[in-house]
Amino acid sequence: MMGLTKKDFTLLLIVAVLALFAPFILNPFPEGSAMAQFNAGYPDLMQRLVIFGIFAIGFNILFGLTGYLSFGHAAFLGVGSYAAIWMMKLLTMNVVPAIIISVLVAGVFSLLVGWISLRRSGIYFSILTLAFAQMSYSLAYSVLTPITGGETGLQPKAGDPRIIDRALGADGTERANFFGLEMGSSYDMTVGNWVFTFSAGYYLAAVVMLAAFYLSIRIFRSPFGLMLRAIKSNQQRLNYTGLNSKPYTLAAFVISGMYAGLAGGLLVAMDTQVGAERMFWTASGEVVLMTILGGAGTLIGPILGAGFIKYFENIVSKINESILHQWFAFMPDGIEDFLVAIVYPFIGKGWHLTLGIVFMLVVIFLPGGLVEGGQRVARLFKRKKPADDNPDGKTTPAE
Amino acid sequence: MDAIILQILNGLDKGSAYALIALGLTLIFGTLGVVNFAHGALFMIGAFCAVTLSRILTLSHEVIDETKTDFLGNPLKVDVPYLYDIFGQTTGDAIIDWAVPISILFAIPVMVFIGFAMERGLIKHFYKRPHADQILVTFGLAIVLQEIIKYFYGANPIPTPAPEAFRGSFDFGAAMGFDPNTIIYPYWRLVYFAFSAVIIGAVFAFLQFTTFGMVVRAGMADRETVGLLGINIDKRFTIMFGIAAAVAGLAGVMYAPINSPNYHMGMDFLVLSFVVVVVGGMGSLSGAVLAGFLLGILESFASMAVVLETLPGINQIIIYLVAIIILLTRPRGLMGRKGVMEE
């Protein structure tokens, strides 16, 4: 169906259902209960989950499929964001032109960076992309202040030209909309103690994410994707057969850059502001973390990784010492304090520590990421016929 | 002329830091073939060794001081460092004042231990794995180390003063016959430069003139042959990792008074020192040192007001620009050997 095999279509369907019902799935606990802080069903977080999912899906095409580790992808996210915000300032608050232009501008920029960076491979490629990204960050932060707003960043203002909006005589609001439907608008459904929020912005982002995911499946399954995989496994051998691999790697780089630009444009569509820190190299590191954590080279991995990291960043980081004391309150005093003292460094403000440790464990023991972990667990329960799912006895995450 | 001398001097201390970190990175890369993204974190830990030692030295207990009273006439309690009890007040104060230089002694065993633990516990298992995996796992380690430091020391920079004798500045202008106060330079930065020159000299001498160093250099050139000669090269490489960690740590210790240690200083220096390594040539020790100083000086020249007027913001990007040009025109770097990581 839709040009996909049955297995891939099921995967797409599962992701679609998850995305559609996310406001329910992420809100399992009733309002006001002790567990309510684990609810992630609020629009801001849900949007981040899917937008960074898009970012990671794109990065996966470059790293997971082609094997080029870029440490500078946040630059394309940032460039896309700046392009989107300028569309909002100049043309219209409608998000469609903003998103389209962010993809295009990020594509052009990544063509330039990729054309230069891809002359080298391995560690040199990583450092070249890192250098480009840091350079873009510095430029956005200081030199290009008239375009990027420097330290303060950019956001739509009442005095902006907004040519199309003016011509159509729309009211001069600075809220992003989709043909009149405001991105910030949402509908709260109350069922008993549960409150489910359906946000226009989230559903727009989710639909875009599904489209991006579908496209990435098609790329994975296409002859082009096969070529990228061949480049990853042995580029030298490929060159010896007389194939020029450069156009393929460049195409992969540009596609992943455009995905990053799309994510950047969507970020602007959701909260209409940009700052240069979005381009700092640790932001590029984050998307690397997401992709590896979920499983580089797998279809669903990057989305899982992005979801995992964004969920932790927003939920676990909010747990503080007093909440911990509540949790362990049933214990005797001494043990309670001891447990809190042990757990506290790993959550709340220290959640990055947990992230770092989990990431290291994944790189060391689970090169296929969470997806491979899931497969291993699944295999434990399917011991009877192990030959079925793994003919060669090895995990091949790229499948 | 005086402006040029000033910029060269300004570039030296930053260049020293770049050179020392890049030297360690190159030692690790050249011997073990591992790309260590956690090297900046080692630099940071070194700086926090200085913080830790000065905290240990100022540990105090409360004593009732009969000579001071509050307005009711009750004797006041004052904090007295334990050092006073041992050495008396004058010597105690002097020791506290010299905390940063003293932490060199404290930092060497700590850093060597951390280096050994890292190599034996983690890096050892990554020799045979692709460079991307090495980058990733050491990147994860860098995050973990950084967060541990943040947990224990907080997110704010911690001022760590240099000894009293080295605060204040030296007037090069007066000494060299220019106008006074045109080239003034803090003493501690001179100390930092001299210190890094000594460290760099020591590492080179160690590699050049000792049997150990000779074997390590042979191992850098051809690891398998050296192994076949019956030499336990792995053990020597572990020691080299410890030395590289100590070099990064010492660079950090001495850098503490120049810029108050904070938990992300490692990441800030890491990217730049990788750029330095690439410009100098991967695997070339002298290239790393040369490029470190060159880029440091270049950066300070780019921050001159005259330059900034014509090319605004060039000081922010000059290093990356140089790195990109070098990588594209001469991928092996300034002094790299042909064939090392060249593709």
Q: What is the pLDDT of residues A13-47, one digit of tens each?
A: 999 999 888 888 888 888 777 777 788 778 888 99
At residue A99 the predicted structure's pLDDT band, cuts being 50, 70 and 90, is very high
Interface test with A, best of B272, B276, B299, B317 (most A CBs within 10 A): B317
Q: What mean pLDDT comes out for the span B289-302?
A: 90
Report CA-CA distances (Å) from B303 to A317, B4, B6, B298: 39, 12, 12, 9
> With an 8 Å Cβ cutoff, is A122 touching chain B?
yes
A358 DSSP assignment? H
Listed in sequence order, the residues at least 6 apart from B72 whose beta carbon sits closer than 8 Å to its beta carbon are none
Hey, how many other C-beta atoms are within 10 angstroms of the C-beta on A384?
A: 7
Percentage of residues in chain B having pLDDT higher than 70: 98
Considering only the beta carbons, identify the residue of B136, B140, B327 that sits closest to A128.
Answer: B327
pLDDT value of residue A324: 79
Q: Tell me, what amino acid is at B84?
A: Y
For residue A343, the SS3 value is helix
B54-102 per-position pLDDT tens digit:
999 888 888 887 777 777 777 778 888 888 888 888 888 888 888 889 9
Cβ contacts of A352 on chain B, cutoff 8 Å: 143, 146-147
Q: How many Å apart are CA A264 and CA A304, to the nearest integer? A: 19
pLDDT value of residue A385: 53
Phi, psi at residue B69, to the nearest 5°? Answer: -135, 155
Q: Has residue A399 got a pLDDT over 50?
A: no
> With an 8 Å Cβ cutoff, is A367 touching chain B?
yes
Bridge partners of B61? B80
Q: How many Å apart are CA A45 and CA B138, to the nearest integer? A: 29
Q: How many Å apart are CA A76 and CA A99, to the nearest integer? A: 13
- The alpha carbon of residue B206 is apart from the nearest alpha carbon of chain A, in Å, by 29
pLDDT value of residue B112: 95
pLDDT value of residue A397: 54
Which tokens is A49 given? Answer: 């989950």
The question of ipTM being above 0.90 is answered as no
Report CA-CA distances (Å) from B274 to A67, A98, A166, A269, B218: 21, 36, 50, 36, 24
> With an 8 Å Cβ cutoff, is A163 touching chain B?
no
Q: Is the CB of residue B296 less than 8 Å from the CB of residue B15?
A: yes
B219-272 per-position pLDDT tens digit:
877 878 888 988 888 888 899 999 999 999 999 999 999 889 998 888 888 888
pLDDT value of residue A321: 77
Q: Has residue A63 got a pLDDT over 90?
A: yes
In chain B, the residue whose alpha carbon lies closest to the alpha carbon of A132 is B320
Q: What is the model's pTM? A: 0.88
Percentage of residues in chain B having pLDDT higher than 90: 31
> With an 8 Å Cβ cutoff, is B143 touching chain A?
yes
- The alpha carbon of residue B238 is apart from the nearest alpha carbon of chain A, in Å, by 20
pLDDT value of residue B157: 92
Q: What mean pLDDT comes out for the span A310-318?
A: 85
Q: Has residue A393 got a pLDDT over 50?
A: no
8 Å CB contact of B139 and A122: no
8 Å CB contact of A285 and B139: yes
8 Å CB contact of B275 and A357: no
pLDDT value of residue A384: 58
pLDDT value of residue B340: 56
8 Å CB contact of A363 and B137: yes
At residue A398 the predicted structure's pLDDT band, cuts being 50, 70 and 90, is low
Q: Where is pLDDT greater, at B333 or B241?
A: B241
Both ends of chain A: CA-CA distance in Å? 19
Bridge partners of B75? B69
Helix B131-153 / helix A351-365 crossing angle, nearest 10 deg? 160
Maximum mean pLDDT: which of A357-366, B62-71, B109-118:
B109-118
Q: Which helix (H) or strand (E) holds B64?
A: strand B60-69
Q: How far is CA A131 from the centre of its chain?
A: 22
Taking one residue from A and the other from B, the number of pairs with CB-CB distance under 8 angstroms is: 108
Listed in sequence order, the residues at least 6 apart from B154 whose beta carbon sits closer than 8 Å to its beta carbon are none
A62 DSSP assignment? I
In chain B, the residue whose alpha carbon lies closest to the alpha carbon of A68 is B132
- The alpha carbon of residue A363 is apart from the nearest alpha carbon of chain B, in Å, by 6
Beta strand A177-178 with A181-182 is antiparallel
Q: What mean pLDDT comes out for the span A324-344?
A: 81
Q: How many Å apart are CA A154 and CA A98, to the nearest integer? A: 14
Query: Among A286, A251, A279, which residue's Cα sits nearest to residue A79?
Result: A279
Question: Lowest mean pLDDT: which of B59-63, B201-205, B313-317?
Answer: B313-317
For residue B127, the SS3 value is coil
pLDDT value of residue B332: 81
8 Å CB contact of A360 and B331: no
Both ends of chain B: CA-CA distance in Å? 43
8 Å CB contact of A116 and B324: yes
Instruction: Show the DSSP H helices in chain B as ranges.
Output: 2-32, 39-57, 82-87, 89-97, 99-121, 131-153, 172-176, 187-209, 211-221, 223-228, 233-255, 265-280, 285-302, 305-310, 314-329
Report CA-CA distances (Å) from B328 to A127, B279, B295, B324: 12, 11, 17, 6
- The alpha carbon of residue A230 is apart from the nearest alpha carbon of chain B, in Å, by 17
B-facing residues of A in 78-117 (CB < 8 A) are 116
8 Å CB contact of A142 and B133: no
Which tokens is A171 given? Answer: 């009211």
Listed in sequence order, the residues at least 6 apart from B119 whose beta carbon sits closer than 8 Å to its beta carbon are B32, B237, B238, B241, B242
Q: Is the CB of residue B25 less than 8 Å from the CB of residue B274?
A: yes
DSSP code per residue over A178-232: ETTEETT-EEEEEETTEEEEEEHHHHHHHHHHHHHHHHHHHHHHSHHHHHHHHHH
Cβ contacts of A350 on chain B, cutoff 8 Å: 147, 150-151
Report CA-CA distances (Å) from B109 to A6, A369, B76, B87, B101: 60, 36, 40, 25, 15
Burial of A381 (0-12, 13-18, 19+ CB in 10 A): exposed
Which tokens is A29 given? Answer: 């606990």
Query: Among A264, A335, A228, A309, which residue's Cα sits nearest to residue A75?
Result: A264
Query: Among A57, A14, A15, A54, which residue's Cα sits nearest to residue A291?
Result: A57
8 Å CB contact of B321 and A135: yes
Q: How many Å apart are CA B246 and CA B228, to the nearest integer? A: 29
In chain A, the residue whose alpha carbon lies closest to the alpha carbon of B318 is A135
> With an 8 Å Cβ cutoff, is B309 touching chain A?
no
Supply the mean pLDDT for chain A. 87
In chain A, the residue whose alpha carbon lies closest to the alpha carbon of B137 is A360
Cβ contacts of A120 on chain B, cutoff 8 Å: 327, 331, 343
pLDDT value of residue B47: 94
Considering only the beta carbons, identify the residue of B131, B144, B320 that sits closest to A123.
Answer: B131
Q: What mean pLDDT comes out for the span A85-106?
A: 93
pLDDT value of residue A171: 67
8 Å CB contact of A130 and B274: yes
8 Å CB contact of A363 and B275: no
For residue A260, the SS3 value is helix
A184-234 per-position pLDDT tens digit:
888 888 888 888 888 888 999 999 999 999 999 999 999 999 999 999 998
Query: Among A48, A57, A2, A60, which residue's Cα sits nearest to residue A22?
Result: A48
Hey, how many other C-beta atoms are within 10 angstroms of the C-beta on A380?
A: 8
Considering only the beta carbons, identify the residue of A139, A285, A364 that sits closest to B317.
Answer: A139
Q: What mean pLDDT comes out for the span B111-120?
A: 94
Q: Has residue A395 got a pLDDT over 60?
A: no
> With an 8 Å Cβ cutoff, is B135 touching chain A?
yes
pLDDT value of residue A391: 47
8 Å CB contact of A356 and B140: yes
Q: How many Å apart are CA B14 and CA B294, to the nearest integer? A: 10
Q: How many Å apart are CA A81 and CA A137, to the nearest integer? A: 13
Q: Has residue B32 got a pLDDT over 50?
A: yes
pLDDT value of residue B339: 57
- The alpha carbon of residue A215 is apart from the nearest alpha carbon of chain B, in Å, by 26
Q: Has residue A338 got a pLDDT over 50?
A: yes
pLDDT value of residue A392: 47
Q: Is the CB of residue A287 less than 8 Å from the CB of residue A73?
A: yes
- The alpha carbon of residue B258 is apart from the nearest alpha carbon of chain A, in Å, by 23
Q: Has residue B133 got a pLDDT over 50?
A: yes
pLDDT value of residue A214: 95
Interface test with A, best of B126, B307, B320, B341 (most A CBs within 10 A): B320
At residue B338 the predicted structure's pLDDT band, cuts being 50, 70 and 90, is low
DSSP code per residue over B213-269: HHHHHHHHH-HHHHHHTT--HHHHHHHHHHHHHHHHHHHHHHHTTTS---TTHHHHH
8 Å CB contact of A356 and B321: no
Q: What mean pLDDT comes out for the span B309-323?
A: 82
B68 DSSP assignment? E
8 Å CB contact of A353 and B147: yes
Q: How many Å apart are CA B222 and CA B216, to the nearest integer? A: 10
